[in-house]
Amino acid sequence: MKVAIIGAGPTGLLLGIGLARRGHQVVAVDRDAGPAADGTWARRGVMQFHHAHGFRPQIARVLQREAPAAWASWLVHGGEPIEMTLPDGTLSPAGVRSRRSTFEIALRAAALQQPGLRIRQGHVEQVDIDRGRASGIRVDGAELQADLVLDASGRASRATRNLRTGAHIGGPCGIAYVDRQYRLRDGVPTPPMDNPLAWQGEYDGYQVIVFLHERGTFSTLIVRNTSDRSLVPLRHNAAFDAAARAIPGLAAWTDPAVSRPLTEVLPGGPLLNLYRGQRSSDGDLALPGLIFVGDAVCTTTPNFGRGITTCYLQVGRLLELIDGHARAGDIVDRELVAIEFDAWCEHNMRPWVEDHRRMDDALTRRWDGQDIDLTDRLPSDLIMSAASQDASIRPAIVPYVTMQGLPSCLDEVEPRAKAVFRTGWRPPLSEGPGRAELADIVTRAAAA
C-alpha cells in the first residue's frame, strides 16, 4: 500500500518506520529541511522543539517494539533510560532523560536509514480527493498519490482543517511559560529532584519545574497564567536570572557555580488542551482514506509530560489495527481502521484532555487567588496532593501518574480527597516569593 504522511515529527517518523517495516511504501512530507550540516536544527514552526520534554517509559516501549533502530539511535545520541524502585523493592523503567532535540535528531537519523520510507521536504497544501476518498496529497503544487493519507501534522494541523468539521473539545489552556536550558558543571552533584525526571515547586500564583535531560543538561520552566501580564518580563534573560536567584529551589539548579545556561530564555507559544476525532459534523469519517494521528488528535498541557506518550500510544494502536485489517496483499480496510481508531481514541485519549482541562481551569483560578471549589469534582492534581494527608488515596494515584490507568482511576478516592480539603487543609507552598513579589523582582531586573 502507498502511504503519504503529512508531517515528519515524532508521530510521522515512527508511523513511517512502522509501516515501512511492514512492507508498505511510505513518504513522510515535512516543510522542515532537517538538521543543518553543522548539526544545529532551528525547527521553525515546532515551537516546543527546544523546550523541556520529559519522556515516559511508554515511549521507550513503543520504540523498542516498532522501531528498534530508532531506540538504538536514541541511546547512541545520549538518551539515558532511568529506573525507579517500586514499593516492593523491584526496579521499573521510569522514562528516558533526553532533550527533545536529541530525541528527534536520533529518530530522524534512524528514519533516514529505513528501507521503504522516504522523507521529503515540502509543504502539504491539501489532501486530494477522488470519488469521495483521499487519493493522495498536494505538495508544493504537485500531486503525490497514496492509498492511505495519515495526518501527523501536529497540534496546529492546518492542511486538513476544512475536512474535519466534527466537534472539538478544548482550546487554549490559560497557562503559559518561559523555558531556559542549562548544563550542570562537571563534578557538581545533581540538585534535589521529586522524581527521576523532574523537580517541581508550587508558589503563590505560579509554578516552577526543572526537567533533567541527558548528560547533565536540564530545562527550567516558570509557569504562569496567560492572563497574568505582570510576569511577562520573564522572557528577558536578566529578568529570568533575577527570578532564578530569588526562588531557592530554582537557584539550587541555576547558581552559576552549579550550571551554565545553554540557551537564551525561550518564551513559549500558546498551550492547548485539545481533542479532535476523525469525524465531520455529520458524524461520518472526515474523509475515507484519511486518518488523523498524534497531536493532530490529542494535545495536553505539557506540565505532566504526556504529549509524546499519547502520540506513541496512538501509533502503537493504529499499527495494530492496520495489522488486524490487512486484506489480500498489502491492502488494508482503511475505513474500518479509522472507525476503530476513532473509538479507541475517544475512550483512551479524550479523557486525558478532559482531565487536563479540569486541572488547568482550577489551577488558573487558584493562581488568581480563589480557593478550591469543593462543590465540583476535584481536579486530579489536588487528589494527588491530598494523598499526603490520607495514605489510603495513594494506591489509586500510581496508575494515574504512570498512565497505566485512565484519569477515572481516581474517581473512587475523590470523595476521600475532598474530605481532606473540607478540614481546611491546603497543599503547602514551596519557599519563595509570591507572584506580586516575583513580578516586582522581574520588572526591576528587566528595566535595569
Nearest to ligand FAD of 29, 322 (CB atom): 29
Nearest to ligand FAD of 48, 273 (CB atom): 48
Cβ contacts of residue 329 below 8 Å, gap of 6+?
Answer: none
Nearest to ligand FAD of 54, 233 (CB atom): 54
Nearest to ligand FAD of 298, 393 (CB atom): 298
Least gap, CB of 154 to ligand FAD (angstroms): 2
Nearest to ligand FAD of 191, 302 (CB atom): 302
User: What Rg do the C-alpha atoms of the chain give, in angstroms?
Assistant: 22
> Please, are residues 12 and 152 in contact by the beta-carbon 8 Å criterion?
yes
Least gap, CB of 80 to ligand FAD (angstroms): 15
Amino acid at 103: F
> Please, are residues 431 and 248 in contact by the beta-carbon 8 Å criterion?
yes
Least gap, CB of 153 to ligand FAD (angstroms): 3
Residues in contact with ligand FAD by the rule CB under 6 A: 6-12, 29-32, 45-46, 48, 51-54, 123-124, 152-154, 158-159, 268, 294-295, 302, 305-309, 311
Least gap, CB of 438 to ligand FAD (angstroms): 21
Sign of CA dihedral 254, 259, 265, 269: negative
According to DSSP, the β-strands at 175-184 and 259-261 are antiparallel
Nearest to ligand FAD of 10, 18 (CB atom): 10
Gap between the Cα atoms of 138 and 146, Å rounded: 11
Least gap, CB of 119 to ligand FAD (angstroms): 10
Q: Which element (helix H / strand E) includes 45?
A: none
Nearest to ligand FAD of 381, 414 (CB atom): 381
Bridge partners for 281 per DSSP: none
Least gap, CB of 336 to ligand FAD (angstroms): 23
Least gap, CB of 447 to ligand FAD (angstroms): 28
In 3D space, the residue among 254, 400, 273, 306 whose CA is nearest the CA of residue 54 turns out to be 306
Least gap, CB of 324 to ligand FAD (angstroms): 23
Is 344 exposed, middle or buried (CB count within 10 Å of its CB: 0-12, 13-18, 19+)? Answer: middle
Nearest to ligand FAD of 33, 167 (CB atom): 33
Least gap, CB of 230 to ligand FAD (angstroms): 21
Q: Which DSSP string corresponds to 369-398?
A: TPPP-TTSPPPHHHHHHHTTT-GGGHHHHH
> Please, are residues 7 and 30 in contact by the beta-carbon 8 Å criterion?
yes
Q: Which DSSP string corresponds to 181-247?
A: EEEEPTTPPPPP-SSSSEEEEEETTEEEEEEE-GGGEEEEEEEEETT-GGGGGGGSHHHHHHHHHHS
Nearest to ligand FAD of 184, 223 (CB atom): 223
Which residue in the block uniquely carries the three cell numbers 529541511?
33
Gap between the Cα atoms of 240 and 229, Å rounded: 15
> Please, are residues 91 and 62 in contact by the beta-carbon 8 Å criterion?
no
Least gap, CB of 276 to ligand FAD (angstroms): 12
- The DSSP 8-state label assigned to residue 330 in this structure reads T
Nearest to ligand FAD of 101, 385 (CB atom): 101
- The DSSP 8-state label assigned to residue 393 in this structure reads G
Gap between the Cα atoms of 356 and 361, Å rounded: 8
